[in-house]
Each structure stands twice: as C-alpha cells, then as structure tokens.
Structure 1
Amino acid sequence: MDLKIFVFLSWSIFSFFLLDVAHGDMSYSLPEEMKRGSVIGNIAKDLGLQTGALTTRRARVDTEKKDKRYCNINLKNGELVVAERIDREELCGEKASCILKQELVLENPLELHRISLHVQDINDNSPEFNEELINLEISESADRGARFVIEEAHDADVGQNSVQQYSLEKNENFILAAKGNTVELVLDKELDREKQKEIHLLLTALDGGSPQRSGTVVIHVTVLDANDNAPVFSQAVYKASLPENSPLDTVVVTVSATDADDGVNGDVTYDFGHVTDEVIKTFNIDSKSGEIRVTNFVDYEASVTYEIRVKAKDGLGLSSYAKVIISITDVNDNAPIVSLKSLTNPIPEDTPAGTEVGIINVQDRDSEYNGQVHGSVQQNVPFKLVPSIKNYYSLVTTGNLDRELVSDYNITITATDEGSPPLSSSETVQLFIADINDNPPVFKEQSYSAYINENNKPGSTLCSVSAQDPDWRQNVCASELFYINENNALT
C-alpha cells in the first residue's frame, strides 16, 4: 500500500484530543508523517480564548534558535497546525514514547504554555537484517537440539509496528526458536557432510503493523567438522561513561570473550552487530583486542546514551553477543543564547519607572548547573531585568528618562551560566527615547531695544528676537520678526 494512503488511513484511526490542560501545559496526540498544514488541535478553544485575542496578544509557538518549530498557530481560527515533517524514528529512535516539546507564548500579559506533542508511530518501516547473507559453519558432529544464535532483525518502528515474529522456510534439518529478541536456529535432524555440504535457508521477519511488512535474510550453512564451542563474553552487559567532546581515539571500553576450542576454532574476533548509522560514525571496535574507541566527537546535547550490540566470532563462524551501554556526561561547552522577543521602541521620556519595555529569553543547551542561566544588564543605565516565566525576563525602566539629556541607550544584556568555568554571551539593544513637550521656550535676552527713523518704508525690519527650546520638532518654538506695516504702524 502506498505510504501516503497509509498515513491517511492512520489519520482516520488516530483521533486528536487534548490530553490535559493544567498549570499551563497542553498535550496533543498525532501520528508521524502528517502533511504540513494538518490540524493538530485548536489552541484558542482549549485555552478558552476568543480567536481575535491570539492576534492582539501576539500568540506564537516559540523555540530555541537551533531547534525546529514543528507546529504553528493559525491566528485567524486558533488552529495548531503541522509546520515541519515529523519523523518519529528520526526524533526518538527506539523509544516507546516520543514527545516533542514546544512553547506557546502570549503577551500582554505574558503567559507561557508548554505544548507536548505525543508523536504516534505508523508502520512506515520494514524489518531489516544487518546482513543480506548470514554465514554459519556447523560441525556435522553437532547434536540434535543444538542451537545457533541468529542476529535479530531491526525495525525502526515501535510497539506493534516493530518485529513481532519470525518464520523459517521449510527444510529437512532446522527449525526456528524465537523468543523476545533471541532468534535461534535449532538443529532438528543431524547433519551429514558427505550427503550435503551446504544448506540455504530463508529466514523472514514480520512486524505487527497493518498492512504487515517483512524482511528476509538468507542463511548459508556450511557443514564442517567439530567446532562445538561458541565464544563467551566476560560480561553480558558492559557499561562505560564518556565525557562529551572527548579526544578522538579515546578508548571507551574493552570487551572480552573466550572460546574453549583450540586452534582456529578458538580464535575470537570482534565486530559490531546491528547498530545505528550514528554509532558507526562515532565509534569503532578493534577486531583483535575488543577495544571500542571514539572516532567522532560526541555531543551530550545530541545524544546522552549509546547502546551497541557487539559480536564475538570464532574461527569457524560460531558467535555470541553482548551489549555495551555508553553514557555521555555533560561538560559546559555551550554558551547561553540571548533572544530579544519583544521591544517597545521608542518610549516616551515621561515613561514611569517600573514600565515593561521588552521581553528577553535566555537559553542554554547544557544540563543541570551548566544550563542554569542568569540574565543582567550593564550598570549606569535606567533599566534592569526582572525574572518572569521560566527562561524569560522583562526589561523594565528603573528611573526617570530625559530625552534632552540622553536621546537613546545601548543596553547590553548578558546571560551567564553556572558552569565551571562559566560561559556567557551578550546582546545589545538600542532603545530610543521619544520627545514630549516638557520644556518652555527661553528668550536669549531679557529685553530688546530698537531705534528707527521716521518715515521708514512699510515692510522694513525693526528687529528680530530669538528663543531656544530643547524639545524636538513640533515642540520647538519659532523666532519672530517685528516690521512696519503699510500704515507705518509697528507689527
């Protein structure tokens, strides 16, 4: 079935509903891969707002500068709509729950509502095996009931849409035993190398989606003489901690497996099992020593843990698996980000102290103390930052303003985190002061004297007077001239 048709059917299955509205939180459920512009819910209705209030209060979905905005608001009707492609597998990987966090900001007064988008999985991925061909070398002396581990298939989907069952093409020698993530080929009839040296089996993995998807792999069995011991890892699970930005070639952990067989049958080599592309780009494993090293810089803000499936294989193809869990620890490598979200500019010079003139947001992608941020403005300006909601500050006036003394201010806003050493960044805002008519004109002289001759012609200038006004434009006074009119009268 075409993916677009399937997404449409999925839309009919998933009903969008407001899960909870409490303490400023709103939650919606939607399937992944919806078209841009698809309606998620109605913000105005869920908040009990008139539709027009969204425009007057400058409603918007706000994110950090580096993050995508996955939804937008239609200010005309209050609908929350899809703005970017939402791929659950890209965003959340194998996590059962996939929640996108967005923030709704309303101004005048300032309100912040957290929006949680619960992204539901659709069956848009087929099961895949790590290899197109699995080679097994099995001794003809293997007993009936012997089990051989096969690496399971991987399906990027979750829940019922992930791998649910396996089937093995009918053959004379093997049956399949699959339970959970363990897939084993079970010898049901002894092998006879002189009768058959090679056996080809088709293994199929099926998911539980509708329509159902599947993936296949060919198992090539070579019948050999005795190699009856598989490698055994020293641990089933290896755990390691790695600071982000660790130098390349850092040894993270060393895995170890032993094989009781002698000679080539006991030679163990190591490799990754089915892992993500991100793991392949970030780590490698030494096939002889089992050392796992860093090959690319790790970023705590991008991924906090890596789970790696490691395979140990002996000289004749028997293998076993272990899990490596690498936890990335945070370092203070991200400076805070200062964002100007709103600014009233210019402001009248008679603005009273305590007036909000701007809204500032500060963010830091680090965690814990490294991500705790404090905002401030430089001294000697009549403004300060007042903490508001979460990472928001209000820029307010602290004293009287006088345009005739200072007509504009360059306000430097600094955000500093609590890391060690602390990191900071600044943003400068230019704020202009608007004039009001708060100064009377002042004559240059207290009195003016003029001497004239009789019989001067009409229109002759007698004298001029001048006054100054520190106000601006229409608030400034005009100078006047005294002259003789046609009747020889002073005007």
Structure 2
Amino acid sequence: MNICKILLICTVFSRVGAEIQILIDPVNLPENLLPGTQLSRAYDKDVAGKADAYRFLNKTKDFVIDASSGVITSTKVFDYETDPVRFLFIVDTGGAMRRVLTINILDVPEPPDCTADPQFSAGTAAVEIAEDYPLFQPIYRVTATDQDSVHGDRLTYTLETQLSGPEKGGNAFGVDAVNGVVSLKEDTLDFDRGYHAFQLTLRATDTTGLFCQGTIIIKIRNVNDERPQFEPFPLDSINVTEQTPIGETVTRVRATDPDEDSITYSFTTQQEVFGLDPATGIITLLRPLNLDYPNNSRAYSLEIEARDSGNNTSTYTFTVRVESANDPIFCDLSFLTGVSVLVPEDVPASAFIYMILPRDPSPGQKFQLFRLVVAVSSRGKRPVESCTGTETLLVQNVNGEHSDFTCLPDAPVHISENMPVGTKLVTLTATDRDSGDSVRYEFIGTHKEFSINEDSGEVSIAYPLDYEDVGTPKSWVLRVRAYDNQRVHSTTGTFTVVLQDVNDNSPQCSQDIYTIELAENIPVETLVVSLACTDKDGAFPNNNITYRLIVDPLSNETFTLTNNELKVGPKPLDSDNATFAGRHFKHTVFVKVSDKGSPVLSTIITVIVRVLRINEMNPIGTTSAFTFSVLENSPVDTLVGKLTFTDADWPFNNLKYTIVGGRLGTPPKFYMEPYTGMIKLLDSLDRESELQYRIVVRITDLDNDAVPDPLRQRSATAQVTINVLNVNDEPPLCHPPHLETWIYSIVRGAFVQLNCSDGDSPPEHLSYLIVGGNTNNQFTLQRRGVDPPSLATGQNFQYDVFQGIQDAVTFQLLIEVTDELGGSKAGQLTATSTVIIHVLPWTVTQPTSSTKIASTSITTLVLRKTSYYWAPDNWFPVVLTLTAALFLMCLYTLAWYFSCCSHSILLFPHCHESGQSSPTAKEPGLSV
C-alpha cells in the first residue's frame, strides 16, 4: 500500500509542474537609473539550469532576461513622465507556464529648468518700458519647465532680489507666484527721481524645494510726464511803488521742469496793466500805478500758466501790491493864495484865530513848523495905520488822531487745512497820525485757531486745522482792533478767513482683500462683490470716488465693474483652461479706488476669485462603436486598437477605460490599458474556434470636479467589435490519415472517396495530387464540384501468369492535399494521405467451343478477411516511456527507503551492517 502511495505522489508531481516564481513583483524602478540595473529574477524549478529556460513572450528592447538564470535587467534610462508602467510576459522553455511582471517607474523629483530663455538663465535678458507703464500689466514672463508638472508638481515664482540704479532702494516690481508674470506693483517708477534701470533676480521653485533662477534687467525710458513747478513768492505776493515807471521790470516768475523741457509763460486772462515775456517770465509795467487815480487798484491778482514742450501745464497765482510814494507836502489852495483874517483887538490870548489845512498823501510824514506873516491895520481912522510882522507857530503834538488801517484784506483769505501751526496768513498794517505814537493790534473776541502779533499785526495759525473735523468751522470772520499806546483812540476792521479742504485722505474700503469662491457654471451678471468705500475728505472733488478695474489678459472680459459692483461677464467663468489651471483656478483682479482731488489719492483693493470646478461634460468619442481587426497568429501584447475619447473638463482627457462586459473568451483574450485606451492581446487567438469578440468599455472621467470622485463622475460606453483575421496556420487533415481498401482487378471507375478538410480553407480551396506509388499511372483522381475527389482506376490490370504478365497486387499511393488553392504559395500548407490498395486478380473466361452447352449459373463468392491492428498516435509511446521511467524511479526510491529501515535487515543485511558503528574497544575473547 505504501508503494502505491509513493507512486501516486510522484506521478501527480510530474504532471502538475511548478509555476514561474518572480523574486520581486511588482518592481519599483526609480526613473533616471543607468542601464544595466538588475530588477528581479524569474525561477521555475522544472526548467532551472537549462540554457534556454526563460524568455519574454512580448517583444521588448528595454529589458533583457538571462535565458539561463532568469535575471531581468534594464537596458535604457526610463522617464516616469512618459513611461510610468511596463508589463513583461515571461514564459518558460515549453511555453506552458506564463507570468506577468509589472514594473512601476517611480517619479524622482527633478529640478525646474529655466533654460527655455537662454538670456534669462545667463543673466542677460533685458526689456525696456516707459516710466508711465501701467500697474499690474505683464512686462516679462519667466519661462520655466518642470518634467514633474504633469503629475501634480507645481512651480512657485519668487522675486529674490531687486536692485535699482542710479537711485538705490527702488521696489517697484513684483512677480505673480503662480504664472511667473513680472509686473509693476507700485507708482514709484519715476525716471526723474533716478530710477533708470532695475535688475531682478527671479526664482522658480517646485513643491520639493528644487529651483532654478535667472536675472532680467528692466530699463526705464524717460517720458515727458512732469508738470512745470513754480518757485513761489513769499506769501504769494510782491510790492511795487506807485511811482514805478512804465516799461520797468516788476518781477520775474520762474518755473522748473523735472523733465528739463523748455517752458513758456502766459497770463491765463488778458492783462492791461502788466506784460509778460513768454520765454523769460519777466513781468513789466504797461500802465501807471498812481494811487491818486480813483480807477487804479492797490492790489492786482495775476495768474500765470507755465507750459512745457509736452503740453504739461501748471498755474501760479500771486498778488502785486502797490505802495504809496513820498509826495511833497502842499497846503490848501486858499492858504497858498493868501488868507485875510479879521481879529478883534480885544481878542484874548491863545484864542483860536485860523486853522491851516495841509494835505499830505504820505501818512507818517509830519510837519511841525509854520511861519506866518501877520498884517495889523486900524479900523475907522484915516489915514489907516498898519504894521506887519512875522509870527512863528510851533505845533505841538496832541494824541488826537485815530489809527487807520492801511492794509486790511478786503477779499477772503483762503487757507489750507494742512498748514502747520505758526504759518503766517496776513500782516495787518495801521497808521496813527500822532507823532511818536505806535499802533498795536488785537482780536476782538476769542479765536483759538489764530493768533495775532500785538506789535507787527501778523496773523498766523495757532491750532491744527482739520477740514474733516466737525468741530472745526469752515470759515471765520475775524474782527481786529488797532489802537494807540494809551488805548485812547482805536479803529476796528474785519476780514474773512476761509478754510479749504485738502485731499489728504485716500479712499478707504471695508476690506482690502476679498476672497470669494464661485462655481464655474454660475450665470453671467452674477454679483461677485459690492465694494463699500468712503473718503473722509469733506469737500468735492476730494471725496468724489471713482472705481477702475485692473485685470490681466486671462481675466479680461471675465469681470465687469459698474460703479462699486463687480460682476461676472461678459464671458462666463471657465476653469477648463490650462493656463488658468496653472494659476490654481484663481482670478486675481484689482480695483483701483481713487478720488478726484489734487493730487489724486487711491487705494488698491484685491479681489481673489477662486473658481470651483464643475464636471459638466461627458466623455465624447469619435464614435460609439469601434471595430478592430487582429490576425489570429498575433503575439501576446499586440496592440489591437485604441479607443479615442476626449473630455473638455479640466484636466483634459483625464479618462479611465474599463472593460465592463462582452465576450472576451475563456480565458480572456484581451486586456485594456486603463489610462491609454489601448486594447492589447492577452492570450493567443484561434479564428477557427472564435471569429469575433464583442467588448463593452466604460469610459469614466477622473478628477474633473471640486467634489471628490466618484460623486459627480461622468461616463460613456463604447461597443468594441474585434474581428479575428484568418491566417493559414492549419494544414489539411484527412480522415483517416491512412486508408486501406481492396478492389477486384476488373473494377473500372471510382471506388473510394477521400475525406479531407481544412479548418482555414473551404473545400473548394483544397487541391489534390497523387505524388507517389502510382505505378504505371494505374489510378487517377476524379472530382465533381467542390467535394473531395474519388480515387478511380485509370486502366485495366493485367494478370496472365502463363504469358508472364503480372501487375502489382498492392499499391501504396501518396496523395498530397494543398490548401489556399490559387493563393500565395508561400502561405500554402500541405498534408499527405496514404492510401493502400489491394488488388484482387479476377479473370472472366470466355468459352471457345461453338457447341452449345448448357449454361450453368456460377455464383461468385468473395471471401474478405479483415485484420485489425492497433496504430497508436505518435505521442503515446513517448508518454508510455516517461511513465515507465518514473515508475522505475519510484521503485528505486521505495527500495532505498526500505534499505535504511531497521525492520528490513533481513532483506538488506549489508545496509544494516553499514549502519552499525565500529567498535572502539576490543571485546573479551577476541583475538587480534
């Protein structure tokens, strides 16, 4: 019973065989490794050690397998981005065992490459822009590539250094971290301030920290964008005397241009009193300024415009004040021609006699000494008696004069809110005709915002003024008093001070940065954000706010700004764009909020709109039904066909192909690469067993929505028909392959029909030919239609022993059957059928006597003896021999087993003796 068990185990083991073992499966191969890297090893103990034990079933030049050891080695440098996975089909010598080895190419981080622009990487790239180049508009784009980008690696662009010259410290440029676009980010680009060139060092860094960098030089081109600037006069006024002659130079205005352009001057309004040289700015007098003329004014306001060669203009307004001249003293006309005064004789001493009325147009000039010639005559006597004499009158000063304002603004004095404390506004002047009497000044009432110098009359700002402060008046009517030393006499006056708003507050919004998420399928005109901005300045136009949208080319026409409302449109949002995907699906737009003051103040508001991807499109194929053809003798891994589908959602054409149904054969004859859409051959085909295969493939998009898969995945199906093309790979077969028959020698015509067929060819494509054994052409082939031919006798057999004529009685015909009749001879296959024909001699004797004899009916009896023999197939002797050898091996194993067992000592005494240990000491009684 044990012998039978051992024999059974050995027999089963010999028939099953071992699988091919792979030492490492799958193999993870880092990209960029040098050729010759040993990857894995195949092992099959049934073929181990043979010279041709292993081979690849699919043809490949990228790997080699040692036919003896099974060691698999790479022969090239692999790139993960172009070849992420490979499949190797390994078979052993007999081809019965197959194994698929998967080789995954691992991604190795690679640094970005900035050499797309050689000048940038070499540090010699240069661009030139005008100094008035707009903000946030592209100037230069860093072109960097990263082979790892197709698998999720992203580049981040940074500005490492920024140098300016000849003026140092410029910081005008920035770079977009996503797309590498260099743009102007601040309004500091001024050629006239010394910013003539900038040198930027830019770096592109991937997610692993690897980077490349380069340098770009931005040259600034000067633009005539500066307005002339006037050199102001102190207090914006000049003084001239009323005696200035016509044609005399009054003053000269000067203006400078930062752009160093030539300047021309002109009055903004027509002037009749003054003339202006347009080239030099010299102002001359055209008419007299005599203040004695009632039509002449004490002050003239002149507004002058300066214009450069670029038509940039600026204006300046100042006041020309006319001062009185020192005219000679003259008296009243009646006094000059002589005055007669009648004085009574009894006039008391110190009585008032006559008042002299002098006129002095120059206040302050006093006269104190008068000489009078007095004539005295008698009244009522004849002759009249008279005498004359001279009397000197010394006029003594008496504080009897009021102070008079000589300089008090008659027009409102306009001041700006940002004037510092202590700024002089105006100087009041008043005179007192009393000799030696000085004038002092004071405010009537309290005005904390202003102060007046008691001695000089200078009015200045005493408190910070803010137009936007609700507690600060917008105008003041200041009452001032001028008084003498003893405060005996005084005079009052008023003038108006008007506070003007200065554009010193830029617009302010509730937020400086808005971050908003919108789905890409929202309708046009959807409100993105409504800006809430105000300007604290209190007067128009300083608090008049305007909004301007600043966008890059990618966001152009995607957003519309109406007043303070940012809306989508006229183009809809679209995340299915490669450039937009490189920006992480974000639009960054800027809104410049400005007032209309001078200078214009503005604030930049940043609006970041993140567009959420929506899976909107189904995968679309060139057709919904694909038909492919493949030759039945094609090797494994042959490309059968490729399904072509596209998906307009980003990432474009990110599809997965899966076989979900159909007839694939058993075992499956085809497999599909999930990410390429390629259908490849997995097992050998046989057209004779299956002509056509039908496969149903589902095409599913991947990662096309902000919501993770598979919640919003879209898919399509395709019907695939694979036709197996015939290849003449089967020779004709005849049944039976060896035919033996007996005929009589008197047989004429067909006596047996061949039964031959071909799995690749129809019956009409088979041709038959007797190629051997047809002695004397005794036999021919007769064929009717498309059926196989019949074997027929061609001529009579001769068997005449007495005459020595004896044909063969046994014929062994060789009939060659060829397929593909009329086809290419190179592709034809043939088979040979053997037909053994035994001819039984038979003679029919004719009587020679004319004697009529009685006819005797003869019954012909043919005896046929059939001999049966066993003709096994060719494989049977081989199997029988192997089985016998295996049986003998099992018997030997059994014998060896019993030879080493203690209970078999009787059968194998020598085994028992050999197993005994040698004596180590002599036993008693044994002789040496």
Please indicate the TM-score interval, normalised by the length of the shorter structure: 0.5 to 0.7
Paired position in structure 2 for 1:267? 544
Q: What secondary structure, in the 3-state scheme, does the structure 1 residue paired with 2:554 have?
A: helix
CA distance in 1, matches of 2:560, 2:131: 22
1:231 to partner: Cα distance: 2.0
Q: Is the 8 A contact 1:176 1:185 kept in 2?
A: no
Selected match of 2:60 from 57, 66, 69: 57
Structure 2 unaligned segments of length 5 or more: list them.
1-26, 40-55, 64-73, 89-100, 145-155, 175-184, 203-213, 230-313, 315-415, 417-501, 623-627, 702-709, 768-787, 799-810, 814-928
1:387-426 matched pairs, under 5 angstroms: 403-404=687-688, 406-417=690-701, 418-420=710-712, 422-426=714-718
The reply on whether 1:113 has 2:105 as its aligned counterpart is yes
User: Residues 177 and 433 of structure 1: is their aligned pair in 2 closer, same or farther, counting only changes over 3 Å?
Assistant: closer
Any conservation in 2 of the 1:232–1:257 contact (CA below 8 Å)?
yes
Q: 1:377 to 1:423 in 2, by over 3 A?
A: closer
**Higher-Rg member (1/2):** 2
Return the match for 2:218 from 195, 207, 214: 214
Distance 1:246 1:207 in 2: 40
Deviates more, 1:290-299 or 1:472-481: 472-481
**1:331 corresponds to:** 614
- Aligned counterpart, 2:35: 45
Q: Tell me the alpha carbon deviations over residues 374-407 of structure 1, each in whole angstroms, 9 at most, x when there is no partner.
A: 6124334424877888888986769x97634531
Tell me whether 1:133 sits opposite 2:132 in the alignment.
yes
Please tell me the residue identity of whatever aligns with 2:755: A
- Secondary structure of the residue that 2:615 maps to in structure 1? coil
> 1:440, 1:243 → 2: CA distance?
70
CA contact (8 A) 1:58 1:106 kept: no
1:243 aligned to which of 519, 527, 534: 519
Structure 1 pair 402–151 and aligned structure 2 pair: CA distance change class (3 A): closer
Bigger CA drift: 220-229 or 316-325? 220-229
Contact between 1:408 and 1:432, CA under 8 Å: does it hold in 2?
yes
Residue identity over aligned pairs, in percent, reads 15
In the alignment, does 2:760 pair up with 1:472? yes
Aligned AA for 2:505? N
Inter-partner Cα distance in structure 2 for 1:229 and 1:246: 38
Deviations 1:429-483 (A, max 9, x none): 524166664995469xx999999988x7xxxx53673535360049986533423
Give the Cα–Cα distance (whole angstroms) in 2 for the partners of residues 43 and 288 of structure 1: 61
Q: 1:346 aligns with which of 631, 646, 651?
A: 631
Structure 1 residues 24 and 402, CA gap change in structure 2 (3 angstroms): closer
Higher relative contact order (CA 8 A, sep 6+): 1
Alpha-carbon spacing, 1:384–1:337, altered in 2? closer, same or farther (3 Å): farther
Structure 2 length-normalised TM = 0.32
Q: Which residue of 1 aligns with 2:791?
A: 482
Q: Determine the structure 2 residue equivalent to 1:258.
A: 534
Aligned match of 1:296: 571
1:312-341 residue CA offsets vs partner (Å, 9 max, x unmatched): 2222432221222221212223545899xx
Is residue 698–residue 715 contact of structure 2 (8 Å, CA) maintained in 1? no
Tell me how many residue pairs correspond in the alignment: 371
How far 1:344 sits from its partner (Å)?
Answer: 10
- The separation in 2 between residues aligned to 1:221 and 1:319, in whole angstroms, is 19
C-alpha separation in 2, matches of 1:110 and 1:338: 29
* Separation of aligned partners in 1, 2:157 and 2:671: 49
CA pair 482-107 structure 1, distance change in 2 beyond 3 A: same
SS in 1 for 2:687: coil
Q: List runs of 5+ in structure 1 lacking aligned partners.
A: 1-21, 27-41, 61-75, 82-99, 136-149, 188-198
CA distance in 1, matches of 2:755, 2:655: 57
Partners in 2 of 1:469 and 1:344 — Cα distance? 26
Q: Which amino acid aligns with 1:289?
A: N
* Distance apart, 1:276 and its partner CA: 3.5
Give RMSD over aligned pairs. 5.6
SS state at 1:227 partner:
coil
- 1:167 is aligned to 2:459: no
Q: State the match for 2:779 in structure 1.
A: none
What is the rounded CA distance, in whole Å, between the counterparts of 1:380 and 1:186 in structure 2?
A: 72
How far has the Cα of 1:294 moved from its partner? 3.5
Residue 467 to residue 377, structure 1, CA distance change in 2 (3 Å): farther
Q: Which residue of 2 aligns with 1:430?
A: 722
Counterpart of 2:591, as a letter, is V
1:308 paired with 2:589, answer: yes
Q: Amino acid of the residue matched to residue 631 of structure 2?
A: P
**Residue pair 2:692, 2:721 contacting (<8 A) in 1 also:** no
Change in CA separation of 1:323 and 1:227 when aligned onto 2, cut-off 3 Å = same
Supply the distance in 2 between the matched residues of 1:312 and 1:186 (Cα, whole angstroms): 20
